[in-house]
Structure 1
Amino acid sequence: MRTIQLYISGSYQRRFFPIDTENFTPSTPIIPALIAGGMLKALLTLLTFFKLVDSASQNYYMINFIADAAFYFLPVLVAVSAAHKLKCNPYIAAVIGAALLHPNFTSLVAAEDPVHFFGLPVTLISYGSSVIPSILSVWLMSYVEPLADKISPKPIKFLSKPLITILIVAPVTFIVLGPLGYTIGTGLAAGADYLNQNVGWLVPTLMGAFMPLLVMTGMHWSFTPVIVQSYATYGSEAIMGPGSFVSNICQGAASLAVAVKTKNRELRQVASSAGITALLGVTEPAMFGVTLRLKKPLYAVMIGGACGGLYAGLNGVVRYTSGTPGLASFAVFIGENPMNIVHAFISVGIGFVITFILTWILGFEDVQETAKPVKKGAAAALEQRIEVSSPADGKEIRLEEMKDETFASGVLGKGAAVIPVNGRVSAPVSGKIISVFPTKHAVSMVDENGAEFLIHIGIDTVKLDGKYFTAMVKDGDVVKKGELLVQFDKEAAEAEGYDMTIAVLVTNTQEFLDVIPAKTGEIKEQETLFTIV
């Protein structure tokens, strides 16, 4: 789920509900903590299976509760993560989360005697491993803390601000937000469990088929809170894990099939490396550089993913902890049921074989190697050059300096990037607009020389789903160099943690001799960004 925004009079904006998937992306500290706990559980299972650790021993007991700690103390971890996102004091947030787990409160829960707080009844709930209660409490805190700051006298603000915050947030959390969040969380987990119990084949099949589309739109992150709650409640999940693993392996299979079948040496090199990285769990080079580009291999990926996901669902495959979906992290399927990982291997094997065969049978429009006549001498080279202008004012950097491997690796094409100083993006060349992405964060176009360009605004900005972006052109428009393509709210996007570096790529680089960046450092809009020779 994304942060829900409330707009008033077109400009005033404030936070309304902070269940934001950025709290659960791999770039935040909470996911490694959960991975560590889950992998430690998997290791303990292996040690027990091979009789290296006795399940009745103190070693087993110690390792087990250390592994459980990451999940039991989720309210604290989530509170800290949400506080960073909502610009609250993370230590006060941690105190609120820890209060939900305090031994004195858990003893009240165990006693089951009626409890009242300021005369109001407190629902006795065990909050260990819960997610939503902490998010709701920190959401309230994001409003209370600024109010406490405003009303606190300066001489004693250091003392009164945290006191007021806790005095308001803690009671409301125990009386209202905690029970509400617990109900929402258990409802989500119960819904996922219901699907697993009654139509267990359905979700892995759908995920296996449509995972590429979810990744392209950033919608796959919206499932993360449900997955985390499922781990905490049941110790495993089947919503995302089985299907995403199969889908990633299928991306690798399709890319490797393309590498074997293509006659284009450059495409073979790109597809080979992208296929291997996809098998290890990184699918962006394969998806954007091969399967999506050639289209038919993407259809093979979706069909193979559906078949592998169906097998996983029919055999009840679950994932015991999070991890990059690929061969390098197959241990996430190790659990009490030894056949779980066996069926997981079979499911990805099915997906790989079907995808590879379908890619071969369906074929694709191969990228032809064109032998361009090249004149001798520098003057002749200059006659063929295409000057590509900067789309924005800012600082030019090399593509390899971008904080995204998909762009930095050059798998999508050569070019350059600009760190903008404002939210204006103009056409780097004169030509025709091929496509304005639905999320408005990217535009593709072609110039009169046949050079194809991708102007991509920001890193991972597909997750914004068009928020802060306004497209000034549409598909099929003919534009001149310097004409405005997109406007975006740079400050608002950066306030949400996004890197707004603009990449300008030549996606059919192989049809030209070279792409030569002009310089690095300060650059003005419409100054030469790079030259195509």
Structure 2
Amino acid sequence: MAKYKELAEKVLENVGGSGNVDQAWHCITRLRFNLHDKEQVKIEDIKKLDGVLGAQFSGDQFQVIVGNKVSDVYAELEPMVGSDGSGSGGEKKGQRQGIVSATMDFISGVFTPILPALAGAGLLKGFLALFVTLGWLNNEGDTWAILNAIGDSVFYFLPFFLAVSAARKVRTNEYLALVLAGTMMYPTFIDAANGLTDVTSFSIYGLNFISIPVLNYSSSVIPIILAVLLLKYVYNFVKKFMPSAISLMFSPMITFLIVVPITLWIIGPLGTNIGAGLSQVFVWLFDVAGPVAGLLLGGFMPLIIMTGMHYAFAPIAIQNINTIGNDSFLQPMMFISNLAQAGAAFGVAVRSKNKALKQLAVSSGISATIGITEPAMYGVNMKVKKPFIYAMISSGILGAFAGWYGFKAFALGGLVGVFAIPVFADPSGAVGPIVVALILFVLSLVLPFILTMIFGFEDVPEEGKAAEAPKATEEKKTQATSGTQTQTVVQSPLKGELVPLKDVSDPTFAQEIMGKGMAIEPSENHIVAPVSGTVMVLPDSKHAIGIKGDNGEEILIHIGIDTVSLKGEHFNALVKVDDRIEVGQKLIEFDREAIKAAGIQTVTMIIVTNTPDYLDVLSINDSGPVFEGEQLLTLVR
């Protein structure tokens, strides 16, 4: 659709264009980017885009939170950055990822593309378990066997899926990666591991010290990922020295002869042991200190999801399901946390007097009930603050109960919400787990809803009623309070004629990219402080000044259009960076006539650069004369 294409174009433009994109992909609610130069990102402009719920860096990965239409937006974005999700830019400029950041980014990039397959197959297995529990399906019949094969196929052949996504992530040939997965899953090794043959180990190349253990790599996660990493470097090294005429045939063959034995001998067993070790740590943690582990993980799960760290837990959850048959930490805690965000949003919908916020809270609450929490978290609960805390408290309490009881998921459910309830059904047919899942479903919605209704929050006033700018203020008065709103007054820094910002010839100001405000055509040769505060920015050209006000307002006064080209000529600064200034204090002197004689406009912009921090920025008048010290803008929180 046109609106998704427009949003994709604007996001891409504000991350620095396709040339700045190293990789792009998406998860359930977010566009995710690896960028060559993150300094090019205009994060505040992206946050203002219609359709964007938020934007943030998680480590060195840039995330744009779009919500449940993210796949539509990505479908328009993908052709713009290339079919492999990458632009044409060069190497990253002086950026090095830390180990934790790089690991998180890598895991997210590997697992996100295969989530639809994992979610669909896992949910199908969950429904099968539920139907068996309810007596609707016989787990020995043909129908169950076929449907179970569908659900099992993704997990049994998981190394193939991971081989492709890992190869795409590290930029190596995905078909060569599939050969690694195919070798690891070859019946010779699978049969030996299952005891169908008498083979207990293998040797290769006549080297007796190489003893390849017999392991079953079906459903494994870490071995194939490590193998693909090795493949990338070996293949690139071999190609570097291979004559181009024979590289197509011999580079892959030599790579296989090196990588496959190392994988079967060292990397495979190492990855298997790492996965088993991590699995045992979490199982032990919930067995020994279940309530404490549940309290912490459940309570802080929204913050974990916000940073994308939940992807780091995905391999462990999959490992647990494949080895011990259940996941006791990731999906149970996400289930409780997601529903708590929904319950808090529904509380906001009932209690708020703002009609627009009510509608947003209802729709985002429904999305969170399904398992998509970003609209509720960013658009509602965090916006009014306290409901977000109520949701965290509720999920912590219920997480502690879940940890004490031993609440488990028996399959992977994808979107962890109401439709994921079947994954908590015990395949053995025991009724208890599904009953507990239904109880936690209700409590996770109700508890934060009640807390929100009882303790309340600071409501967002409706537009138009929020803050009517006062028509008269005392000369030195800079802040007023009305009900739950705070109004900060910005005085005019100079005398002249008002000019609406949209009429300024510089599109950066006219389109309010820097923020909302007003412009003035000066009739005097100096500017004064519009608020009391501190000088934040004062370039050598002295044509502009940035002020941090005592009430948190950030004001930019930009004298003229393109006056930076004068390199300070015709300007005289009377203050310096970090100086304390008082409202009405003279800041900069300039020569209007000399500036005009140089062919440069003198219209002066007064911009609130932290506009997103306010409900609105209101101007007293749109035209006519204005005097130094007269009220110019009202900032409403």
Q: What TM-score comes out, normalization by structure 2 length? A: 0.58
Aligned match of 1:221? 311
8 A Cα contact 1:305 1:351, kept in partner: yes
C-alpha distance in structure 1 between counterparts of 2:320 and 2:508, whole Å: 45
**What aligned pairs does 1:94-113 form with structure 2 within 5 A after superposition?**
94-109=178-193, 110=195, 111-113=198-200
The residue type equivalent to 2:203 in the other structure is H
Q: Give the letter for the 1:321 counterpart.
A: L
1:33 alignment counterpart: 117
Residues 1:276 and 1:16: Cα distance change in structure 2 (over 3 Å): closer
* Residue range with higher mean Cα deviation, 204-213 or 141-150: 204-213
Matches within 5 A, 1:140-151: 140-151=230-241
Paired position in structure 2 for 1:244: 334
For 1:124, the equivalent position in structure 2 comes to 214
The separation in 2 between residues aligned to 1:447 and 1:19, in whole angstroms, is 37
Q: Work out which of the residue numbers 292, 307, 314 in structure 1 matches 2:382.
A: 292
8 A contact 2:201–2:211 mirrored in 1: yes
State the SS of the aligned residue for 1:116.
strand
Is the 1:307–1:350 Cα contact (8 Å) retained in structure 2?
no
2:296 and 2:109 map into 1 onto residues whose CA distance is 22
Aligned to 1:354: 447
Q: Which of 422, 443, 457 does residue 331 from structure 1 map onto? A: 422
How far does residue 48 in structure 1 lie from its aligned partner after superposition?
A: 3.2
Say whether the 8 Å CA contact 1:26–1:32 is kept in structure 2. no
The residue aligned with 1:364 is 457
SS in 2 for 1:216: helix
Amino acid at match of 2:458: E
Amino acid aligned to 1:323:
G
- Structure 1: which amino acid aligns with 2:449? F
2:412 maps to a residue whose letter is: T
Deviation at 1:192, TM superposition (A): 2.1
AA paired with 1:63? L
Q: Are the counterparts in 2 of residues 271 and 286 from structure 1 also a CA contact under 8 Å?
A: yes
Shift of 1:267: 2.9
| Cα offsets for 1:24-69 (capped at 9, x unmatched) | 5698342222223222222332443455543333443333333222
- Helix, strand or coil: the match of 1:214? helix
Letter of the 1:36 partner, please give it. Answer: G
Residue 94 of structure 1 deviates from its aligned partner by 0.9
AA paired with 1:218?
A: G
Counterpart of 2:438 in structure 1 is 345
| Equivalent in 239, 262, 272 of residue 172 of structure 1 | 262
Give the CA deviation at 1:157: 1.0
Answering whether residue 229 of structure 2 is matched by residue 139 of structure 1, we say yes
For residues 381 and 257 of structure 2, the distance between their equivalents in structure 1, rounded to whole angstroms, comes to: 55
1:250/1:305 contact within 8 Å kept: yes
Alignment of 1:146-295 (within 5 A): 146-295=236-385
CA deviations over 1:453-498 (Å, ceiling 9, x no partner): xxxxxxxxxxxxxxxxxxxx99x99xx9xxxxxxxxxxxxxxxxxx
**Equivalents in 1 of 2:257, 2:115: separation in Å?**
30
Aligned residue for 1:321? Answer: 412
| Partner Cα distance (1:324, 1:57) in 2 | 29
Structure 1's 87 and 389: CA in aligned 2 closer, same or farther, altered over 3 A?
farther
The equivalent position to 1:305 in structure 2, one of 395, 411, 427, is: 395
Distance 1:66 1:510, change over 3 A: same
Q: Identity percentage over the alignment? A: 33
**C-alpha displacement at 1:388, in angstroms?**
12
Cα gap change, 1:432 to 1:272, in 2 (>3 Å): farther
Q: Which amino acid is the alignment partner of residue 271 of structure 2?
A: G
Q: Which moved more, 1:75-84 or 1:320-329?
A: 320-329
| Aligned partners of 2:59 and 2:97 also within 8 Å | no
**Counterpart secondary structure, 1:122:** strand
- Report the 3-state secondary structure (helix = DSSP H, G, I; strand = E; otherwise coil) of the residue aligned with 1:115: strand
Larger gyration radius, structure 1 or structure 2: 2
**Structure 1 pair 446–268 and aligned structure 2 pair: CA distance change class (3 A):** farther
Distance in 2 (alpha carbons) for counterparts of 1:334 and 1:192? 21
> Gaps spanning 5+ residues in structure 2: where?
1-57, 62-92, 472-496, 514-543, 557-576, 582-586, 588-609, 620-634
What residue is the counterpart of 2:159 in the other structure?
75
SS of 1:200's equivalent in the other structure is helix
1:63 aligns with 2:147: yes
Distance across 2 between alignment mates of 1:365 and 1:387: 36
Distance in 1 between residues matched to 2:445 and 2:264, nearest whole Å: 50
CA distances 1:252-297 after superposition (whole Å, capped 9, x unpaired) = 2212222222233333333333223222222222212222232222
Give the whole-Å Cα distance in 1 for the aligned partners of 2:119 and 2:296: 25
Task: Name the CA distance, whole Å, in 1 between partners of 2:260 and 2:247.
Answer: 19
Deviation at 1:171, TM superposition (A): 0.6
Q: Contact conserved, 1:132 with 1:182, CA < 8 A, in 2? A: yes
After TM superposition, the structure 1 = structure 2 runs for residues 9-28 of structure 1, keeping only pairs within 5 Å, are 11=94, 20=104, 22-24=106-108, 28=112
Partner residue in 2 for 1:408 = none
**1:321-360 deviations in Å (ceiling 9; x for gaps):** 1321222433332332332222122123223222122223
| Bigger mean CA offset, 256-265 vs 208-217 | 256-265
Give the letter for the 1:217 counterpart: T
Aligned-partner residue type, residue 260 of structure 2: A
1:106 Cα deviation from its structure 2 partner: 2.2
User: C-alpha separation between the residues in 1 aligned to 2:251 and 2:387?
Assistant: 58
Tell me the SS of whatever aligns to 1:199.
helix
Cα pair distance change 1:152/1:306, threshold 3 Å: same
CA offsets per residue over residues 403-427 of structure 1, 9 Å max, x none?
A: xxxxxxxxxxxxxxxxxxxxxxxxx
1:249 to 1:54, Cα distance in 2 relative to 1, 3 A: closer
Please tell me whether the aligned partners of residues 3 and 20 of structure 1 are also in contact (alpha carbons under 8 angstroms). Answer: no
SS in 2 for 1:44: helix
Match of 1:121, SS? Answer: strand
Aligned counterparts of 1:433 and 1:172: Cα–Cα separation in 2:
62
TM-superposed deviation, 1:139: 0.8
Structure 1 distance, partners of 2:502, 2:547, is: 16
Distance (Å, rounded) in 2 between the aligned partners of 1:35 and 1:333: 14
- Deviation for aligned residue 1:311: 2.4
Amino acid at match of 2:346: L
Which residue identity lines up with residue 125 of structure 1 in the other structure? L
Deviation at 1:99, TM superposition (A): 0.8
Partner amino acid for 2:341? Answer: Q
Give yes or no for the alignment of 1:45 onto 2:129.
yes
Distance change (3 Å), C-alpha of 1:431 and 1:97: farther
Give, in angstroms, the shift of residue 170 of structure 1: 0.2
Contact 1:133 1:179 in 2 (8 A): yes
- Cα distance in 2 for partners of 1:183, 1:331 equals 31
TM-score scaled to structure 1, two decimals?
Answer: 0.68
Q: Which amino acid aligns with 1:360?
A: M
